[in-house]
Structure 1
Amino acid sequence: GEGARTGFANLVTGGLFTCALFLTPLLTIVPMQAAAPALVAVGFLMMTQVKNIDWDRYEVAVPAFLTIAVMPFTYSITNGIGAGFLAYVTIKTVLGRAKEIHWLLWATAALFLLYFAIDPLEQLLGV
């Protein structure tokens, strides 16, 4: 298929996520050992898409690689996505193509920069 063509798919997705919020407490009864196979399967499915990355364009390849590599090393999906966003914005800016970056990506990158800077700044300032 061609995917969703209207905003209705977004409304359905948002509604289902809202419904899922009420089921979140049930996740506490599932032990980590039971969830691990599902996480491995999701990781496998995610890695099958790596072949679609344009590895010849380093402004795409480096952020993608950082996103993939940082996640397991930091045990954090957030850190991986943040590293990829910051790398993408930095590389595009260094190449003189900053105008190609959407303002939402700039805002997200700024928030990730703040996210990564908070701990070192607190340690430096002794807070």
Structure 2
Amino acid sequence: MEIAIPSFLILIGMPLTYSISDGIALGFIFYPITMIAAKRGKEVSPIMYLLFFVFIGFMWILNVN
């Protein structure tokens, strides 16, 4: 289930935002969140946590402009 939720958000996010990069960003944002919610946060690579913050910044920059 921890992998299914981000995958579903990628599949739904791409057509709803009309952007492949936004859909993929949703997956990178929600994967660490779902793993932490499932108490499996230690299994997530530090690079994924870095990408989490990078894509949060990406979404923030897109919404500010």
TM over 0.5: yes
Identify the structure with bigger relative contact order (alpha carbons < 8 Å, sequence gap 6+): 2
Q: Give me the whole-angstrom Cα distance separating, in 1, the residues matched to 2:45 and 2:21.
A: 20
Matches for 1:45-84 after TM superposition, within 5 Å? 58-84=1-27
Residue 48 of structure 1 corresponds to none
Percent identity for Structure 1 against Structure 2: 32
**Structure 2 unaligned regions, length at least 5:** none
Amino acid at match of 1:114: G
Aligned-pair CA distance for 1:85:
1.2
Aligned-pair CA distance for 1:73:
1.1
Aligned-pair CA distance for 1:106:
0.8
How many residues were matched structurally? 65
Of 19, 22, 34, which aligns to 1:91? 34
Aligned-pair CA distance for 1:119:
4.0
Of 95, 100, 104, which aligns to 2:47? 104
Rg comparison, structure with higher value: 1
Instruction: Let me know the Cα RMSD of the aligned residues.
Output: 1.4
Q: Give me the whole-angstrom Cα distance separating, in 2, the residues matched to 1:119 and 1:112.
A: 10
TM-score in terms of structure 1 length: 0.47
Runs of 4+ that moved beyond 4 A: none
Amino acid at match of 1:62: I
